[in-house]
Structure 1
Amino acid sequence: MKYLFDTANIELIEKYANKLPIAGITTNPSIIKKEGKIDFFAHFAKIREIIGREKSLHVQVTTNTEEEIICEAYAICDRIDKDVYIKIPVTVEGLAAIKELKKDNFHITATAIYTKMQGFLAMEAGADFIAPYYNRMQNLDINSDETIMAFADAISRYNYSTQILAASFKNMGQVNRAIECGAQTVTLGPEIMLDAFKMPSIAKAVNDFHADWVKTIGDISIDKL
């Protein structure tokens, strides 16, 4: 299983992308909006510089027709790099674009998935990742767990190379549940993961260990003994 950060914030990526076991970065126009007006290609070039080529970078198109999506995909890969995963919402036009872009070996993340039908069709179109929206499905009274399990079963049953990249989370409980249901990869806001480390019991355990060490050995680190 892999964790990705759903952010375009340079400061957060620089601070945590190598400290935590993060496998990549996902973004969309709403996430970019949080950063204000940016130099789009320079911004993503900087993100790539920080995370390197070994981590995946997912950048979403902004247009809605097959032709426009394909044009944006070429521009993204030409001006950032060819390893970028192009995020494409699963609509009729989006599926058509996915099929065409896969002919030229583009990396594709099919996104904005709410239904089993969308996920199944994206697999058949050749998407490398499908991104079901966990919390948003729940808000619409769609069973997120059942949907992800259906995707995992289809991938196993029919040998699709597609991976499930679950998205849209409000807490780590939802993230863990998505993984339990079969998502191989999840993307979440850095704040969700970081908040999980703020549990008082974790801090107490660390502080107790340190206090016991000081009482027994002294206020000195092991490497200074």
Structure 2
Amino acid sequence: MEFMLDTADLAAIEYWNDHLQLSGITTNPTILKKAAAVDVFDRLRAIRKIIGTAKCLHVQVVGESAEEMVKDAARILQEVDQSVYIKVPTTPEGLKAMKLLKRKGVHITATAIYSEFQMYQAMMAKVDYMAPYFNRMVNQNVDAKQVIANVAKTGKRTGSKSKILAASFHNVQEVTDALDAGAQAVTVGVDVVASAFANPAISAAVAGFAQDWQDLHPGKHVYDL
């Protein structure tokens, strides 16, 4: 199981990288805009410095044609490093770009996925990750959980090495649903991650333990004994 953070906010990345078992960071132009990352490559290099080389960094191309996407990918790899996962939309031009980039040994994450058919096309292109947009699919009356389950089953049957990296979540339950359905990885926004620990019952339980301890050993911590 892989858990990634979908953000370009450096403070958030530092915090959650220290506290969670992060596998990597995913970004896209919308996320970079939200983080006010005017100098995109400086921001991406800063993210890499925080997470290190053992964790993955996913960066989106914006070219419309396959040739432009390949050029975008080359620039990203040049400016950041050769281990970046290049995010390519799963469109006809994107699928062509995936084929060209895989021939060069580039790591590929197929994005903008709303259907099972797109995932099978990306799988046949031998991408590293396929990123179905869970909540956006749900909003279009697509059974995102069933789509992931079907693709996971087919991937296992065919021996595919393409991993399902579920993305675009509205709440924690959707993250759980994606993993239950067979996604090998998820990328989650900072707001959704924070909400997972905002349950008042959690704080109440912790406070209760602390009070009971103080009743036993007033003014002392466990390490003081």
- TM-score normalised to the size of structure 2? 0.98
Q: Aligned pair 1:46/2:53, yes or no?
A: no
- Bigger CA drift: 11-20 or 130-139? 11-20
Q: What corresponds to 1:171 in structure 2?
A: 171
Cα displacement (A) at 1:37: 4.8
Check the 8 A contact 2:37/2:43 in 1, yes or no: no
Structure 2 counterparts to residues 28-67 of structure 1, below 5 A: 28-67=28-67
Separation in structure 1 between the aligned mates of residue 138 and residue 13 of structure 2, nearest angstrom: 29
Cα displacement (A) at 1:15: 1.6
* 2:64 aligned partner, one-letter code: N
- TM-score normalised to the size of structure 1? 0.98
Q: How many residues are treated as equivalent by the alignment?
A: 225
Per-residue CA deviation, residues 104-152 of structure 1 (Å, 9 max, x unaligned), is 1100000010011100000101110000010000111111011101110
Per-residue CA deviation, residues 55-92 of structure 1 (Å, 9 max, x unaligned), is 11000001110100000111111110011000000000
Over aligned residue pairs, what C-alpha RMSD do you find? Answer: 0.8
Separation in structure 2 between the aligned mates of residue 106 and residue 197 of structure 1, nearest angstrom: 36
Q: What corresponds to 1:136 in structure 2?
A: 136
Q: What corresponds to 1:219 in structure 2?
A: 219
Unaligned runs of 5+ in 1: none
Report sequence identity in percent.
Answer: 42
Separation in structure 1 between the aligned mates of residue 218 and residue 85 of structure 2, nearest angstrom: 51
- Bigger CA drift: 29-38 or 174-183? 29-38
Check the 8 A contact 1:7/1:25 in 2, yes or no: yes
Secondary structure, counterpart of 2:164 in structure 1:
strand
Separation in structure 1 between the aligned mates of residue 150 and residue 86 of structure 2, nearest angstrom: 24
Separation in structure 2 between the aligned mates of residue 196 and residue 95 of structure 1, nearest angstrom: 35
Per-residue CA deviation, residues 7-63 of structure 1 (Å, 9 max, x unaligned), is 011111112212111111001111111022521111100000000011110000011
Structure 2 counterparts to residues 148-159 of structure 1, below 5 A: 148-159=148-159
Separation in structure 2 between the aligned mates of residue 165 and residue 2 of structure 1, nearest angstrom: 8
